[in-house]
Amino acid sequence: MGLREYVIRRLLLLIPIMFGVVILIFAILQLVPVGERVSIYLTGPKDIKPEVIQGYIRMYGLDQPVWVQFYQWLRQVLQGNFGYSEYFQEQVLTGLLARAPATIEIVIYAAPIIVLVGIWLGVNAAAQRDKPLDHASRILSILGTSMPSFFFGVVLSAIFIAQLKWVSSGRLSYQMEGLVPNMINIGKWHQYTGLLTIDSLLNGRIDYFIDALEHLILPVTVLVFIQTATLVRVTRSSMLEALSKTYIIAATAKGLSRKEVIYKHARRNALIPVVTISGLVIGGMMTGLVITETIFRFPGIGNWAAIAAQHFDMPIVVAYAMFSAVVFVLANLIVDVLYAYIDPRIRLG
């Protein structure tokens, strides 16, 4: 089986899973009483009137059998209508798109650090087994998996935000944050990407760049600390396994230096299983974002979903769950394809 056939087969397998995801979400929605469930069909504040709501109940068949409701709901979702959030007073899709850049900004800083630190520490800990670095990495990874991200984050925010006042919570300092809409109005600030650290540079505002970067330090630290732990553990044990293989003995016997054996022979093979775990790290990151953004009041989609859940704002909660399932499944698909690409045994076997 070639790589292309493998990818196509994996894509086809996605269809039943996504269908299952949609059914599960719909089943969860069935728990909510009809009067509240109707909000996932509303399109704006003008709709919040008894007669309009009654109209929607009739229009989408909420008084009809389940399969009719499911069909109507699925049609709405496929058209991109995830409903109207009463709490945030906005369309769910609009809200999601407006907050996505903040989250993406955390991710693009956190992800490379997680991967680089995790792999470096894991490889070197295994190479220096039972030496100080190995012990340090074990303590760090055990602490990282045992320390709840919310506790770590609350302590950091109490010390650095509230006590020392190094940074404020949110994406920018209050004064700077307030000025951005004005600058957009008078045309001095163009929103190229929505990512503040990039937009500020494109607009030539170094002060904003530094401020945005400072506000990213704490959330990124929490994400990195918690997520790196898993990666270090997997890399270390995978590396230990690779180091015990006979080709390592053969390479050493040939007279290669220890460095060459570790980085050229062992690491390459050890990283193959590490690729598969990165899918899990992405899932963990989405969970971590909900908590991290909530602590630092970072206005991304994780914080948005958490606030919505606290106020039982089902349209957002449901849309966020579906969104994260799609991201998670796609990420795992990419990981699997990468895996098959690096290791031909997967697609040929």
Partner 1 sequence: MSSKGKLENFKKRMQPTIKETKFVLKRIRDSPLSIAGIMIVLYNLIIALFAPVLAPPKLYDAYLIPRDPSLGYTYIPNPPSLGHLFGTTSLQVDLYYGCIWGTRFAFKLGVEVIAVTLLIGLVLGMLAGYYGGLIGELIMRFTDVILAFPGLILAMAFVAALSRVPGWTTINAVMLSIILIGWPGYTRLVRGEVLRVKTEDYVEAAKASGASDARVMLRHILPNSIYSVIIVASLDFGGIVLTAAALSFLGLGSPPGYADWGRLIYDAIPFAATGTQYWWTYTFPGIFIVLFVLGWNLLGDALRDVLDPLYRRK
Q: How far is the CB of 2 from partner 1 (least distance, A)?
A: 25
> Whole-angstrom Cα distance, residue 182 to residue 188?
9
Site for partner 1 in 138-167 (CB under 8 A): 138, 142-143, 145-151, 154-155, 157-159, 161-163
How many other β-carbons are positioned within 10 Å of the β-carbon of residue 217?
14
Among 329, 334, 337, 338, binds partner 1 (CB under 8 A): 329
- Contact letters (x/-) for partner 1, 163-192, by CB under 8 A? x-----------------------------
Closer residue to partner 1 (CB): 102 or 317: 317
- What are 70's two structure tokens? 């499911």
* 160 in Cβ contact with 166 (< 8 Å): yes
| Residue 17 engages partner 1 in binding (rule: CB under 8 A) | yes
* Pair of tokens at residue 308: 């919505």
User: Is residue 24 within the footprint of partner 1 (CB under 8 A)?
Assistant: yes
Which of 172, 244, 156, 251 has its CA nearest to residue 208?
172
Is the dihedral angle over the CA atoms 130, 136, 141, 142 positive or is it negative? positive
Q: Which of 3, 7, 21, 337 binds partner 1 (CB under 8 A)?
A: 21
Is residue 141 within 8 Å of 128, Cβ to Cβ?
A: no
Task: Name the one range near partner 1 by CB under 8 A: 2-10, 44-52, 63-71, 238-246.
Answer: 238-246
Summary count for the chain: helices (H), strands (E): 16, 2
Q: Quickly tell me which residue has 């990420």 as its tokens.
A: 331
CA 147/CA 313 separation, integer angstroms? 30
Residues 43-82, mask of contacts with partner 1 (x by CB under 8 A): ----------------------------------------
If binding means CB under 8 A, how many residues of this protein chain bind partner 1? 59
Measured N-to-C along each axis, helices 3-29 and 314-342 cross at an angle, to the nearest 10 degrees, of 160
- Tokens 């602590």 belong to residue: 295
CB of 222 to partner 1, least distance (A): 13
Task: Provide CB contacts within 8 A for 292, sequence distance 6+.
Answer: 106, 149, 153, 219, 222, 223, 298, 302
- Of the candidates 3, 6, 10, 36, which one interacts with partner 1 according to CB under 8 A? 36
What track of x and - describes contact with partner 1 for positions 280 through 319 (by CB under 8 A)?
---xx-xx--xx--xx---------xx-xxx-x-x--xx-
What are the residues binding partner 1 (CB under 8 A)?
16-18, 20-21, 23-25, 28-29, 31-33, 36, 138, 142-143, 145-151, 154-155, 157-159, 161-163, 237, 240-241, 244, 283-284, 286-287, 290-291, 294-295, 305-306, 308-310, 312, 314, 317-318, 320-321, 324-325, 328-329
